[in-house]
Amino acid sequence: MRRIKLIIAYDGTNYCGWQIQPNGITVEAVLNQKLTQLLGEAILVIGASRTDSGVHALGNVAVFDTNHRMDGTRIAHALNTRLPDDIRIIESYEVPLDFHPRYCDTLKTYEYKIYNHSVSNPMVRLYSLFYYLKLDLEKMKKAADYLVGEHDFKSFCNARSDVIDTVRTVTDIKIEKVGHMITITITGNGFLYNMVRIIVGTLLKVGRGAYPPEYILEILAAKNRSMAGPTARPEGLSLLNIKYLHESFQKE
Amino acid sequence: MRRIKLIIAYDGTNYCGWQIQPNGITVEAVLNQKLTQLLGEAILVIGASRTDSGVHALGNVAVFDTNHRMDGTRIAHALNTRLPDDIRIIESYEVPLDFHPRYCDTLKTYEYKIYNHSVSNPMVRLYSLFYYLKLDLEKMKKAADYLVGEHDFKSFCNARSDVIDTVRTVTDIKIEKVGHMITITITGNGFLYNMVRIIVGTLLKVGRGAYPPEYILEILAAKNRSMAGPTARPEGLSLLNIKYLHESFQKE
């Protein structure tokens, strides 16, 4: 038995997210089906990040176990020839059998794109949020600075989540604008359900002047989801990469 | 009667090109239908560039005539509320009745994107050509330099075209690479049928070493389509803008 790690990119537009569910096609279901066909045994992948419906990834991670002898690094190409063109395996390789993609120290980086202009752009509509109100980037950056560090992010967690420990560390938030496109890049050691999208929805409220930047401190202190801004739409969000700390086999 | 000019952006993925045709939906047909609904009279647009199936635009141009009193600059927004989200009017305004979008001196700029990596990227697959062979950019730039200027581009014109005068002026070709994405930007006073895509197909042959850069001179001299490279796929191509020279009403 060997364990294989996959680095996976996908356009989430046409998927009901990562995790298998009864109504609608998911990235996990497609990978299980195509791996089972390729290797001739029932394969079940375990994903690192169960991205929501419509969210994209450039570097999600999954593992699966197999008795097949195919070289780990060759599985990426063999699987790509069977996958639809909106899912691609960037890399594959063998990892120790005790490596679990969710129970390791990691740094995850997400990117959220906002097309901020008076008219939407058809060419970027699937991969960014269209937002026509003027945004004050300096205020957004100031608000973001209050979020960096170790905090209880309960106010930034979907209220339906049953996670008990809501303390997380955000190590960095960058906000940049090129042309009409604003990119918010967020890195941290773990994220609660919808946390990145609620952070973005809150930063948008700051950017358009509905909240002052300092209001972030009150939102954090309240530990109450209703204090923060709305959950920003999924199409602007991409999981860029997951860095596994303390993993000597790590190839990146 | 007034004449209104539209600057139009579209994602060409789901259209059979610009021009109305019996089998399949086109950008022109959608604009005619939505303008007719909006203005309550039969509207027929005249487009500047009849882009091919799958080709995108950020700044195509069209005009139409109307008796409706709606302010020219307000038509963009009113029409956008009715259009599908893969077509957007960037701007609209009234122009003189003798302005014809095709029979004016113009400079058109096209952009062709090539994702040059060993594995394709799902997030850019609809707006770039995936090309996995290594490309020598310096050779491509040298080849491109031979194409700049006034030439008979008959070798770079789809053989089915019945255009007689195949002399055109290419004023500039830029080739840049950011990450894995190569962008070829071509500006000229007019382009023959498939000319940009045949130029790109030929530059790709130079980039992978199948032709030396100087071979461009032989292709131009031959005035024979079969000498040039293949027509590159449509999804990498976008019409960026059309600049109308000598037009005093021009807003840009």
Mean pLDDT of A75-92: 98
Q: To the nearest whole angstrom, how far is the Cα of B54 from the nearest Cα of chain A?
A: 12
Q: Predicted ipTM?
A: 0.89
Chain A, nearest residue to B76 by Cα: A119
Pairwise CB contact (< 8 Å): B11 & A120: no
- Token reading at A9: 């990119």
Q: Give the pTM.
A: 0.93
Chain A, nearest residue to B84 by Cα: A122
Q: To the nearest whole angstrom, how far is the Cα of B38 from the nearest Cα of chain A?
A: 19
pLDDT in tens, A7-23: 999 999 999 999 999 98
- Dihedral angle over CA of A160, A165, A170, A175, nearest 10: 10
pLDDT in tens, A153-201: 999 999 888 889 999 999 999 999 999 999 999 999 999 999 999 999 9
Choose, out of A123, A125, A233, the residue to mutate when testing the contact with B (most B CBs < 10 Å): A123
Pairwise CB contact (< 8 Å): B86 & A119: no
**Lowest mean pLDDT: which of A53-57, A88-92, A157-161?**
A157-161
pLDDT in tens, B33-65: 999 999 999 999 999 999 999 999 999 999 999
Residue B252 pLDDT level (bands cut at 50, 70, 90) = very low
Pairwise CB contact (< 8 Å): A88 & B119: yes
- The pLDDT value recorded for residue A252 is 43
Residue A250: pLDDT over 70: no
Number of A:B CB contacts under 8 A? 59
Residue tagged 């560039």 (tokens):
B49
B52 is catalytic: yes
Residue B104 pLDDT level (bands cut at 50, 70, 90) = confident
Residue A251: pLDDT over 90: no
pLDDT in tens, B131-160: 999 999 999 999 999 999 999 999 999 988
Average pLDDT value over all residues in chain A? 95
Selecting among B11, B52, B71, B145, the annotated active-site residue is B52
Q: To the nearest whole angstrom, how far is the Cα of A90 from the nearest Cα of chain B?
A: 6
- The pLDDT value recorded for residue B246 is 76
Cβ neighbours of A86 in B, within 8 Å: 122, 125
Residue A103 pLDDT level (bands cut at 50, 70, 90) = confident
Chain A residues at the B interface, defined by Cβ less than 8 Å, are 9-11, 56, 58, 76, 80, 85-90, 119-123, 125-127, 238
pLDDT in tens, B190-200: 999 999 999 99
Pairwise CB contact (< 8 Å): A85 & B11: no
3-state secondary structure chain A: CEEEEEEEEECHHHCCCCCCCCCCCCHHHHHHHHHHHHHCCCCCCEECCCCCCCCEEEEEEEEEEECCCCCHHHHHHHHHCCCCCCEEEEEEEEECCCCCCCCCCEEEEEEEEEEECCCCCCCCCCCCEEECCCCCHHHHHHHHHHHCEEEECHHHCCCCCCCCCCEEEEEEEEEEEECCEEEEEEEECCCCCCHHHHHHHHHHHHHCCCCCCCHHHHHHHHCCHHHCCCCCCHHHEEEEEEEECCCCCCCC
Report the distance separating Cα B106 and Cα A44, nearest Å.
58
pLDDT in tens, B232-244: 999 999 999 999 9
Report the distance separating Cα A252 and Cα B17, nearest Å.
42
Choose, out of A119, A125, A183, A233, the residue to mutate when testing the contact with B (most B CBs < 10 Å): A119
Residue B69 pLDDT level (bands cut at 50, 70, 90) = very high
